[in-house]
Amino acid sequence: MPHNDEPPVTLRIFGKQSRFLREQREMTRRELADLIPYSESLIAMVERGERPPKPGYVDAVDAALGANGVLRVLIPDVAEKHHPAWAEEYVNLQAEALALHVYSTHFLHGLLQTEDYARAVFRSVRPSMDDEEIERSVQARLATQSLLTRKPACRMTFVLEEPVLLRKMGGRAVWEGQLKQLLKLSELHNLQLQIMPLSRETHAGLDGPMALLETPDYHTVGYVEGQQGSYFLTEQHDISEMSHRYGTIRAQALDAEASRAFIQRLLAGESSA
C-alpha cells in the first residue's frame, strides 16, 4: 500500500503547466489573482498540486494566461472528486472492510455523522469550501454510511474522546441531534461505541487518531490522517503496535453501557464528569 503524502500526478502536472504558462508571461501570482475571481493563496495551492481546481478556475486561468485551451483540455483529468484525492483509497477500502476500528480525537468519524453535523464539519474546513462543494462532500459522506447496515455486516468499534462529544459543532440543535444519533447507532448489533473520559490519568492514545481496517482477504491495514494528507501502514510490526495500542485505548475507555449513559447525561444537561 503506497503512502499518499504526495499530490496526485495529474494535479502536479496541471500545477506545473499552469505555473509555467504564468511565468512565461512574467506574471506573479498576485497579478494573476487580480485578473480572476480566485485568491493568490488558492493559485499557489493549485500550482503545487495541493488543491484540485474547479472547472471555473481552469477556465479563468486559461483565459487570463491566453493559453488557448491548453489548460481547459485537462479539466476531465483534474476536476474535483467527491472525496479528496488522498482519501479515495481509504473510502474504497472502508466500503469493503470486514472490520473497522476507529479512534477519534477531534470530531466524529464520517460513519457516525448526521447530515447537519457533516455540513458543519465541512463548513469549518479552511481554506473555505463554497456551498456547492460542501453539499457534494456532505452527500458523498452520507453515502459511505451504507456500511453501517451492509450485509454481510462489518464489525465496527469506535472510541471517542470526551471533547468530541462536548464540542457543539453546528450549534446546540445540531449537537443534540448528533447525540441522539449516537445513541441510536450504539444499538446496532455490529457496532460498539465507547467514550474516553477526560478523567483518565493514563492514556494510550496520545499519538493521535487512527483507524484499523480488516480487508476482505483478512489482512489488517492501518490508516492515519494528518493536516495535508494521509498514509497507510501495512508492515506487520506497525500493525502489531497499532493493534496493541488500540486494544489498550478500548480497555481504558468507558464500556459500551457506561458510554451510553454518558451520552444520555449530556442530553439531559448533566455534567460530563
Q: Would strands 155-161 and 191-196 be described as parallel, antiparallel, or unpaired?
A: parallel
| 265 neighbors 245 (Cβ within 8 angstroms) | no
Taking each helix axis from N to C end, the angle separating 40-47 and 9-24, rounded to the nearest 10 degrees, works out to 120
Q: In what order do the strands lie in the sheet with 99-104?
A: 191-196, 155-161, 99-104, 210-214, 220-225, 230-233
Residue 4 has pLDDT above 50, yes or no: no
Top-tier CATH class for 85-267:
alpha beta
pLDDT grade for 74, boundaries at 50, 70 and 90:
confident
pTM attached to this predicted model? 0.70
pLDDT grade for 81, boundaries at 50, 70 and 90:
low
User: pLDDT tens digits for 200-254?
Assistant: 999 999 999 999 999 999 999 999 887 766 788 888 999 999 999 999 999 999 9
User: pLDDT tens digits for 122-178?
Assistant: 999 988 888 888 998 898 899 899 999 999 999 999 999 999 999 999 999 999 999
User: pLDDT tens digits for 7-54?
Assistant: 667 888 899 999 999 999 999 999 999 999 889 988 998 998 877 788
CATH 1.10.260.40 fits 9-78, yes or no: yes
**What residue segments make up the domains of the chain, in order of their start?**
9-78, 85-267
